Amino acid sequence: PTVVNGVLYIGSQDQNIYAIGAWSGDLIWKFKTQGSVESSVAVANGKVYTGGDDGNVYCLDAYTGKLIWQTFVNGDLPFTFGSFVLKSSPVVAGDKVFIGSLDGYLYALDANKGNIVWKTQAAGPIESSPAFDNGAVFFTAEEPATGMLYKIDASTGAVLWKQQLP
């Protein structure tokens, strides 16, 4: 869960994203997605962002739960998992939302409109949640027989470096 201004936001296996009063436990709103939601929720600038097992990234109004946009980000999925699962949780920095996908891409989405700004391919699926610092996005990807840590330029999607992990 994520808590902002006394409201707890959380996704669920029942295909809903919930806003719940953190102190009272009262339901404020819920939004039905097209798949379960394993991704954690990011909240920024009055908007809620999360990924769903249907392959969509959702942006909702934090106060009403109304859908602002949704963007499908698993179009290049080279293998079958039974669904288009997004396990990565989004991170919001400036006007971009960054999220990894099992299709092996890190996506940068426009935080206001949802369009894909850029996507950078790793050699394997991305289950980790990205981190943002000083104009760079960091994430890990599952690569054959190992893992790889990436540093990506947040503006362009260019790989700045990558480091093999044991």
Q: Is the pLDDT of residue 69 over 80?
A: yes
Q: What is the pLDDT of residue 139?
A: 96
- Are 43 and 8 in contact by the 8 Å Cβ rule? The answer is no
pLDDT class for 124, splitting at 50, 70, 90? Answer: confident
Cα separation, 11 vs 33, whole angstroms: 10
Q: Is the pLDDT of residue 51 over 60?
A: yes
Regarding pTM above 0.95, the answer is no
- Are 96 and 110 in contact by the 8 Å Cβ rule? The answer is yes
Instruction: Please state, for a pLDDT cut of 70, what percent of the chain lies above it.
Output: 94
Q: What is the pLDDT of residue 153?
A: 98
φ, ψ (nearest 5 deg) of residue 4: -135, 125
Q: Is the pLDDT of residue 97 over 50?
A: yes
Q: Is the pLDDT of residue 77 over 90?
A: no
Q: What is the pLDDT of residue 132?
A: 98
Q: What is the pLDDT of residue 76?
A: 52
Q: Is the pLDDT of residue 115 over 80?
A: yes
Averaged pLDDT, 59-87: 78
Averaged pLDDT, 154-166: 94
Averaged pLDDT, 108-136: 95
